[in-house]
Structure 1
Amino acid sequence: MKKLFALLLLPSFAFAQEVVIKGKFSGDTKGNNKVYIYGTNVKNDSAVMVDGNFEFKLPFEKPFLPLFYTEYDRNVKRMYSPFPVLVEQPGEIILSEGDITKGMGSFTVSGLKSAAEYNELRQQQTAVYKKVNDQIAAKFGPTWYDKKNPKSAEINEEREKLTAAEISGVLHAFIKSHPDSYASSLALSSARSTLKTEDMEKLYKLLSPKAKQTEEAKNVADYLNGLKNSAIGSTVKDFTLTTPDEQLFSFSSLKGKYVMIDFWASWCGPCKQSFPHMKEVYAKYKSDKFEIYSISIDKDKAAWLKGLKEQDLPWLQTLDTRNISQSGFAVTGVPTTFLIDPKGKILMKEVGFEPGGNSPLEKKLVELFGAK
């Protein structure tokens, strides 16, 4: 029996999976030989280059996107851009032909197919941003990016319009030629706040049935549904989420009240900055006719609970464990607020929360309840 027990334990070790990321830089590091890694669900770590070579071994549970930068960029160039490497499955990823003076963006990526494809797409997107910035600089001058520029609003609007059109073209060509690629699903999901709705729908249709089963593609589908569900004048579909004390709370229980739904997260600085004034708004208007309802998009429940304790928020709180922020409201950033009427109809949406009391949403509250 002891021998049999030992044999039964073996498979649990055999199924341990990892990804190995190997890289090689050329050039003089000037003694700055570390490469750093970080990211969501990635342990902060570093590797020391030996003759330009470095290596990371990471456990694999599900697809993730570790970010890298070098000690050289931090200390010599005094700036760096995070370099993402797409890890879709266990295996080996090779970063080659890197020039330390040009940074990690100079790497050629090979090994796992999806990692190479994602890097190919990133290079195309980087070229788009440069092209658009050059066009903006040619029209508005070399200091177009200065926030004090009197045409700043006009510049940003045109830049966003040009970027959306160019990125849409790049993604269309890439997804059409890589319909099965995890890189296509990830890139489309990441572009939600950039693309027009009609472009998102066309690009989503280009994904293969296999790609549509990825978490990222499902998020895109939820987002597209959310855009329809959260249109001004639409009626909110009932949903149920969990409160801090593990109770189920249904939105329909607020029927008969005006409700300000506030999407936030414990890691969101602007959200925290909005809360002092939001508390003032709550103190003014809380009644049997008005309620604030905050929904956290945190992925980490402990971080959410800690954030709630720190912020001491006196209104309704739940955690979005069902992706309601996407499927119901198409939220692309936090804080985002919605004003809902007593019948559940969406009256207004605001990205951000104006602390000065001059936002359209707060003016609407004055219109509904009078100045207080």
Structure 2
Amino acid sequence: MKQIVIAFLIILGLSPAILAQEGFKITGRLGGSLGGNLVLVGSSSEGAVKLGETTMIDGNFEFSGSVEGVMPAYILTEEQQPIATVMLENLEYTLVAGESGIEVLGGGESQKIWNEFEVINRHVLKEKMKMEQEGRAAYAQQNQMKLQALQQQFAKIATDAEAKQLDLFKKYKDSFVSAFMIASGMQQMDYVSLKTLYDMLGGNVQANFYGQLIARQLMALKQIEPGSVGPDFQGVTAAGETITLHGVKAKVKLVDFWASWCGPCRQEMPNVSKIYKKYHELGLEIIGVSLDKKVEEWTKAMKEEKMEWLNMIDMESRIARLYFVRGIPHTILLDENNRIIAKDLRGKQLEKKIAELLKN
């Protein structure tokens, strides 16, 4: 009877050895004289979970244990440097040194899908490192044409990689790996980009843990999209006055995220100052939010730039996180009802929009 069952399983393409697998086993065969302590950390709905630790000797190591379902896991050095990412389930994995880095062999369908994404990511990283080296040489030679050519070349590589990733998201819309990939990079995405990827996912994937993380991020990003009422915040101005965004009365409000150490911010300040002087009496109020870490550097820059408008310092980046500020200068334009009109306008575009709003 047992032989008949085994034969039937083989016909179905199921190996008895796989069915008997009660846990996972990760074997490292990296070669060389690599050594040191390693830790295996899983990512779950409860947060980071330590799944095991071991010592690597001459590039060899082993982890074993068990998990439920599929769990993203990271092999880290004791300095918390990542060695590899594994879509971990109760199967066998082997890590070997490849041309483009450490390769993960074995595992299940989720690992195969992850590896396809990794091929794209590693290609971009390899080209980026190569171009950074060429860029440093071009900068030393003050070769602006070469620098511009490198920027255009990398932009094309990034665009091609994005297109390939989109194809994979469509192909694997029902895999949790796609949701995990999107959730891992969503902090760098705006609402439209993230919503586009989320809408590609199948219903079951949208309902899983990573799908729900993306949905919550979308809800937060929606609050800072044009047309939404901007989240309120509070701060203390350089004059010692406690104010809130919603409490400031003005027909048009400009929130300007900046810092004393930000070159582009300082370059834009004369334009901001000109706009303030020209439109303040007509109903414009500016609230500067500095991301400086030291009060003296903030106040020194304010004096140097002769800032006459409201200004506060956000040393813990609380306000910046509220508005998902990923780079500065960053501006948010709001109407008298605190509804967001536009974001990231500068120069002539900023003045044109403010003038248009104040005419209405």
Structure-2-length-normalised TM-score:
0.53
* Structure 2: distance between partners of 1:64 and 1:113: 13
Point out the structure with the larger strand share. 2
Pick aligned residue for 1:98 from 85, 96, 99: 96
1:290 partner letter: L
Matched, 1:239 2:226: no
1:252 aligned counterpart, secondary structure:
coil
Say yes or no: does 1:349 pair with 2:344.
yes
1:168 to 162, 168, 172: 162
1:23 corresponds, among 20, 23, 27, to: 27
Name the % identity.
Answer: 11
Query: Unaligned stretches of 5+ in structure 2?
Result: 1-22, 42-46, 236-242, 260-289, 356-360
Name the aligned partner's letter for residue 83 of structure 2. F
Q: Any idea what SS the aligned residue of 2:255 has?
A: strand
Q: What is the identity, as a one-letter code, of the residue corresponding to 1:212?
A: Q
Deviation by residue 1:299-330 (Cα, 9 ceiling, x = unmatched): xxxxxxxx74xxxx9xxx5695xxx54xxx5x
- For residues 1-372 of structure 1, the aligned pairs below 5 Å read 22-29=26-33, 32-37=34-39, 41=48, 47-49=54-56, 52-55=60-63, 66-68=74-76, 82-86=82-86, 91-92=89-90, 94-96=92-94, 98-99=96-97, 102=98, 105-111=101-107, 113-130=109-126, 143-144=134-135, 146=137, 148=139, 149-151=143-145, 154-155=148-149, 157-190=151-184, 202-214=196-208, 216-217=210-211, 234-239=226-231, 251-256=245-250, 258=253, 260=255, 262=257, 271-272=291-292, 277-280=297-300, 290-292=310-312, 294=314, 308=316, 324-325=322-323, 331=325, 333-334=326-327, 337-341=330-334, 343=336, 344=338, 345-346=340-341, 348-349=343-344
- 1:30-58 Cα deviation digits (max 9, x unpaired): xx322544889477996313572322769
Aligned AA (1:49) = M
Larger Rg: 2
Contact 1:20–1:93 (CA under 8 A) maintained in structure 2:
yes
Q: Distance in 1 between matches of 2:137 and 2:174?
A: 41
Q: How many residues align?
A: 280
- Contact 2:334–2:341 under 8 Å retained in 1: yes
1:280–1:341: structure 2 CA closer, same or farther, 3 Å change rule?
A: farther
Report deviation, 1:252.
Answer: 2.9
CA distance in 2, matches of 1:93, 1:207: 26
Partner in structure 1 of residue 277 of structure 2: none
Q: Secondary structure at the match of 1:107?
A: strand
> Partners of 1:42 and 1:263 in 2: how far apart?
38
Contact 2:257 2:331 (C-alpha < 8 Å) held by counterparts: yes
Distance 1:70 1:107 in 2: 20
Distance 1:236 1:173, change over 3 A: closer
Deviates more, 1:145-154 or 1:177-186: 145-154
Distance 1:114 1:255, change over 3 A: farther
CA contact (8 A) 1:262 1:336 kept: yes
Question: Equivalent residue for 2:276?
Answer: none
Cα contact 2:257–2:291 (8 A) shared by 1: no
Question: So what's the TM-score if we normalise by structure 1?
Answer: 0.52
